[in-house]
Amino acid sequence: MSEVTLAATTPSATAGKTPRKTGTFMPRLIVGAVLLIGWEVVVRLLAPPYVAKPSTVLMAIPGVLTDPAFQAATGNTLAAVAEGLAVALVIGTVIGLLMGRSPAFESSFRHYVNGFYAMPMIVVLPLFSLWFGYSSGTRFATIVFAAIFSIIINVADGARSVPRDYLEVARSFRSSRSSVLFGIVLPASMPYLLAGFRLAAGRALIGAVVAEFFLSIGGLGYYILYNSRSYKHAEAFVGVLLLAGFGVGFELLVFWVTKRFMPWYRRER
C-alpha cells in the first residue's frame, strides 16, 4: 500500500517504482506459491476428496461466478452492506461531530458508545431477531450496529483534534456554529472519518455474513454456509475468496476517493 501511495504522489516516484516493486514482488509470489502448494499437498494426502483445495477451488470459480443464485446472493449482501454503511455513516458522523465538539454531548454518550463498540455483534443478534424477525430487517440492524460505533469513535477523535488555528479563523470571520461544524470540523476530520469508515466497512461485512448465518436468509454468507453443509467446499470457498476480494476492493476504492477528492490529504502536516 505504501509504495502505491508514493507512486501516485510524484511522477519521479513512478520511475523508481519498478525496481522496488520487483524487489518485493518475488518474495511475495514465493510465499503465496508455497502456501498454495502446501495446502494442495496436505489436503490430497490427508483429507477426504470433498475438502477444498486450490485446484478444485480454481476449477469451481467459473461455475460459481456464472451461477445466477450466487450472483443474486452476492448482490443481496452487497446491497444490504451498502445500505447499512450509508445509514451508519450519516448518523455516526453527526453523533461523532457533536461528541468531538461538545463536552456535554461527549460525557453523556462516551460510555455507551465505547461499551457498544466493544460488544461482540453476535450477542445482539438474538435480540434483533426478536425485534425485527427472521428477516433482512435484522440483518440491516446488525450491519448498522456493527459499523456505526467505529465511525462515531473515529469522527469524535477527529473533531476533537481539529487544529485550533482553523477554529480561530472561523471565529474571526464570524462563522455560525453549524457552519463551523460542517464547514470546518467535518473536512478537517476527514482522515479520521475515512479510517473509521474502513474499519466500519470490514465490520459491516462481518455483520452481514454473521446475520445470514444466524437467520438463514439469502445472501453471500448463507451461500457459503449452505454449500459447505452440502459438501461443496470448493464452491463455498469461492465465496470466501470473494469476501476477501471485497476487503481489497474497498481499500482501493477508499484510496481512489482520497486521491480524487482530497488531494490535500497526506500532504498537509
Does 6 engage in binding with other proteins (CB under 8 A)? no
Taking the least distance from each CB to other proteins, the nearer of 85 and 162 is 162
Stretch of 96-104, 151-159, 248-256, 260-268 contacting other proteins, by CB under 8 A = 260-268
By residue count, the chain amounts to: 269
Minimum gap (Å) between residue 94 Cβ and other proteins: 19
The CA angle 144-145-147, to the nearest 5 degrees, is 65
- Given the complex with other proteins, which of 111 and 165 has the nearer CB atom? 165
Tell me the closest approach of the beta carbon of residue 177 to other proteins, in angstroms: 12
Query: Quick one: which of 22, 66, 172, 178 contacts other proteins (CB under 8 A)?
Result: 172
* 175 is a site residue for other proteins (CB under 8 A): yes
C-beta closer to other proteins: residue 179 or 216: 179
Binding span for other proteins by CB under 8 A among 10-18, 139-147, 171-179, 233-241? 171-179
263 touches other proteins (CB under 8 A): yes
Name the minimum Å distance from CB 243 to other proteins.
Answer: 34
- Which residues make up the interface to other proteins (CB under 8 A)? 165-166, 168-176, 179, 184, 187-188, 190, 262-265, 267-268
